[in-house]
Structure 1
Amino acid sequence: MPASASYRASTRHRDLGSDFYDLVRPAEFPQHILRYRNHRWAERVGLGSLDDEEWIDHFGRFVPLPASFEQPLALRYHGHQFRTYNPHLGDGRGFLFAQLHDVQDGRLLDLGTKGSGQTPWSRHADGRLTLKGGVREILATEMLEALGVETSKSFSLIETGEELERGDEPSPTRSSVLVRLSHSHIRIGTFQRLLYLDETDNLRKLLDYTIQIYLPQTWRDDEPGRAVAFLEEVCRRVARMGAQWMAAGFVHGVLNTDNINVTGESFDYGPWRFLPVYEPGFTAAYFDETGLYAFGRQPDTLLWNLYRLAECLLPLAPQAELEKALATFEPALHREFPSAILRRLGLQSKSFEQDGILAKSLWTFLHESKAPFEQTFFDWYGGLLSAHRAEKNSSAPFYAQPSFEPVRDALASFEPATRLQLAHPYFARPAPCTMLIDEVEALWAPIAAEDDWMPFQTKLTEIRSMAQAYGAESA
């Protein structure tokens, strides 16, 4: 394999030992058609020099990457699913294929799969991924990355030539295997499994491993201190992730404890949606009948999940100290939300108080006016420097309403970000790039009907232009 000189593989997860994973074999697929490869992130991990056939060998046939795992690892975990505990979870249609380092900052990253075949945790399911599911995950991750959300990256999508039966889309439907690049697959549910099985020594091992590899700043010489510092940092990171979702108008859809990792990176996308307009009760999953994971309930849900993590740490630290650590979530969320709003508006922070006033006034306006969510951020990117753009775009009547006056007044106090790029062609458009559910379905329709990928590729180009305009590509 002609990997670049910067390629650095790892097998660190194997250090945890066989109590944490099962060695598995990938499925053998009848066909391999490369549908997507993430060129930018391939360069970031030293794999940009692979040709397409080599790429398919590694990410469709799962030939091991040099110096990483000889055999994939299906990770073990439990989790609360819609707040009902399930001790029968685990990697049921995926595995940890390889670990390697980010060329730019040295971080350890995982290459994990979705749709790569059955494992001991498949529970009689086929272990496969629909092609539509893979396309949806690419669209979610590309859009979120462009909007400044800490997210896993869709690394590869290969169509695999099987016909799958599914109850939630027309069947038979086409199959695929997705590879995601993520900063750890250690979930809250990974800790929950060890508490459930009363494996305190392994719980201790997992905590120390996670701190050493991912959160070294939380290391303390005493075990209770480590557990508390770890929980505090996870609370801060998850709060940041939640704030970024809210500012992006994003609804994850399935906030089970097995879908929240401890490094605070959004991942594992299923029935996600973006808001058309601000609506706290907006849900993504058709099966979320009570609105448990609705847009406005996401912060509370994340905190509920963090309480489950704290319970796992009770064998290692006093309850009172863990409760204090949990109390870091709310102030972190209140700090991170204005920061995420300012980033979306391309503005420099002024002060905690003034940042909060702007965020609150904008949120109130969006709620009361029902102005198009993404259009509003697009129109006012750069603050008052963009007033002339906003006043000629489709949402101009909303900005003439009294409810917008507090937003305009607040914007007057802010300076634009230092690397603002209002001259970018993206801002000459009358409307922003969006990813509403009707658009997703419209992108899938020509693929399903005629194997026409051009609209999908055009959309990715559009998202890339947005990312460049917002400075997300250099973040």
Structure 2
Amino acid sequence: MSFSPQYSPATDHTRLGDLFYDVVEPARFPQHILRYRNQRAAASVGLDTLTDEEWIEHFGRFSPLPGSLPHPLALRYHGHQFRQYNPDLGDGRGFLFAQLRDTNGRLLDLGTKGSGRTPWSRGGDGRLTLKGGVREILAASMLEALGVDTSRAFSLIETGEKLDRHDEPSPTRSAVLVRLGHSHIRIGTFQRLAAHAETAAIGSLITYVLETYYPELTVPEGDSGALVLFEAVCERVARTGAQWMAAGFVHGVLNTDNIAITGESFDYGPWRFLPRFEPGFTAAYFDHQGLYAYGRQPAALGWNLARLAECLLEFAPHTGLTEILSRFPARYEAELDAAWIRRLGVAPCDEHSDRALRQAVTLFMEESGIPFDALPFDWFGGGSSAERAAASPRAPIYQRSDFAPVRTLLETRTPAAGVTLAHPYFAGNTPCTMLIDTVETLWTQLAEHDDWGALEAKLAQIDEMAVALGNRSPAPSSP
């Protein structure tokens, strides 16, 4: 096998013991057509030098990666789904395939979606539609480009099966996806142990998570580490939630089983990006009450964190957990300021000034109805883009009297370190977006014509934007 010198396999998750997972077998597929391989992500874990045949062997047939997990592991967890507790969850169409350390020594998971039935499939077929896989690629690529802490779509292989689905035209094409992420341990992992009164296992999990994912933190001698862990998770979740909001992203299913203990965003189903700043915008057609609408995402995250706190009560005082949780709103607001300052490409100032700018910009976006991505594109870098904004197709909007105070705040700000407005991306009139119409158009090209060119062009456009915004280095060339 053609592994690069950066290849560093791991098996850390097995240290937790079989209470946390079930050994499973991958599905056998009639075909293996490689549709997507993330060379940039692969380079970070030493897999970029694999041939396409080797790639398919590992990520289509799931032959174990040398030195990593000898068998796939379907992870066990419970969760609140739309605030209703479900004890019958777990990896129902995916598994933890391998663990690797990246070039910075950070432990990463290769997890699957659509890789077959497991003990937790609940009557499902364990498969993934090709459209679902393409949507995950688009969501993860766009979020990473916008600076969101996200898992990355790693591989997509079409599998030749025809699937029946009640919510889209059927039969439809099938695929198996692999994602690269910073842990698949989630709030629901703790909830399952608490539901089964596995107190000792919760203690072991606290220790494992701190040692594995938060090695920089110090736990007082003789302390369980529960408060240290809870504080850290609250910080990470607040940051990711704020990044979603600045990106105009609606996850759609903020259930406790979809909140990673590292705070990393993952598992993209009925996601949407906002056309305009609309707090009530909902992504999932089945979210009839708008529980996970754009403007309600911070509250949903706080609610989920409270469920984690409940699982830690045997290891930390109620008052300590409550105090940490009470700081979540203020922590989130501070992260939201920082996320919008980065989205606007301006240098941070003091807390008061940054918040004033964020609030002025978002209020204007909401009241004016301007496309969500337009103002951050036209005014990226602050005052240095005033001339660009004046030449934008949206220039008349910026001449409105209610924009005057926003203009004043923007024009006093300088570009953030590393911002280069000379990048070709900023020479255009239109920002790169990922609205539902774009997604459906891309899928139509694939479904009706098997034309992958439009998808590849869109991903190249996302790469260009990511580099322009300073959130990604140019992708390595294919082997």
Q: How does 1:121-140 map to 2 (within 5 A)?
A: 121-140=120-139
Q: How does 1:210-289 map to 2 (within 5 A)?
A: 210-222=209-221, 226-289=225-288
CA contact (8 A) 1:114 1:177 kept: yes
**1:146 aligned partner:** 145
Q: Cα deviations across residues 311-340 of structure 1 (Å, max 9, x unaligned)?
A: 000111111111011123112111111111
- TM-score of the superposed pair, with normalisation by structure 1: 0.98
CA contact (8 A) 2:344 2:382 kept: yes
Paired residues, what number? 474
Deviation at residue 225 of structure 1 after TM alignment: 5.8
Change over 3 Å in CA distance of 1:19–1:223 after alignment to 2: farther
Task: Indicate whether 1:58 and 2:58 are aligned.
Answer: yes
Deviation at residue 224 of structure 1 after TM alignment: 5.1
**1:79 aligned partner:** 79
Task: Indicate whether 1:432 and 2:431 are aligned.
Answer: yes
Q: How does 1:11-410 map to 2 (within 5 A)?
A: 11-103=11-103, 105-222=104-221, 226-410=225-409
Deviation at residue 420 of structure 1 after TM alignment: 1.1
Q: Cα deviations across residues 119-173 of structure 1 (Å, max 9, x unaligned)?
A: 0000110000000000000000000000000000000000000000001110000
- SS of alignment partner, residue 406 of structure 1: helix
Deviation at residue 413 of structure 1 after TM alignment: 3.1
Q: Cα deviations across residues 54-85 of structure 1 (Å, max 9, x unaligned)?
A: 00000000010010011000000000000000
The alignment's C-alpha RMSD in Å is 1.1
Q: Cα deviations across residues 348-383 of structure 1 (Å, max 9, x unaligned)?
A: 111111111100100111111111110111101011
Deviation at residue 409 of structure 1 after TM alignment: 1.6
- SS of alignment partner, residue 132 of structure 2: helix
CA contact (8 A) 1:74 1:96 kept: yes
- Give the counterpart letter for 1:84 in structure 2: Q
State how far apart, in whole Å, the 1-side matches of 2:234 and 2:405 are.
32
- Give the counterpart letter for 2:19 in structure 1: D
State how far apart, in whole Å, the 2-side matches of 1:136 and 1:282 are.
19
- SS of alignment partner, residue 373 of structure 2: helix
Q: Cα deviations across residues 160-218 of structure 1 (Å, max 9, x unaligned)?
A: 00000001110000000000000000100000000100000001011110000001233
CA contact (8 A) 1:276 1:373 kept: yes
**2:477 aligned partner:** none
Runs of 5+ unmatched residues, structure 2: 475-479
State how far apart, in whole Å, the 1-side matches of 2:192 and 2:394 are.
49
State how far apart, in whole Å, the 2-side matches of 1:121 and 1:16 are.
19
State how far apart, in whole Å, the 2-side matches of 1:113 and 1:392 are.
46
CA contact (8 A) 2:224 2:315 kept: no
- SS of alignment partner, residue 217 of structure 1: coil
- List structure 1 runs of 4+ shifted beyond 6 angstroms: none
Deviation at residue 223 of structure 1 after TM alignment: 6.0
Runs of 5+ unmatched residues, structure 1: none
- SS of alignment partner, residue 472 of structure 1: coil
State how far apart, in whole Å, the 2-side matches of 1:443 and 1:52 are.
24
Deviation at residue 295 of structure 1 after TM alignment: 0.2
- SS of alignment partner, residue 218 of structure 1: coil
Deviation at residue 384 of structure 1 after TM alignment: 1.2
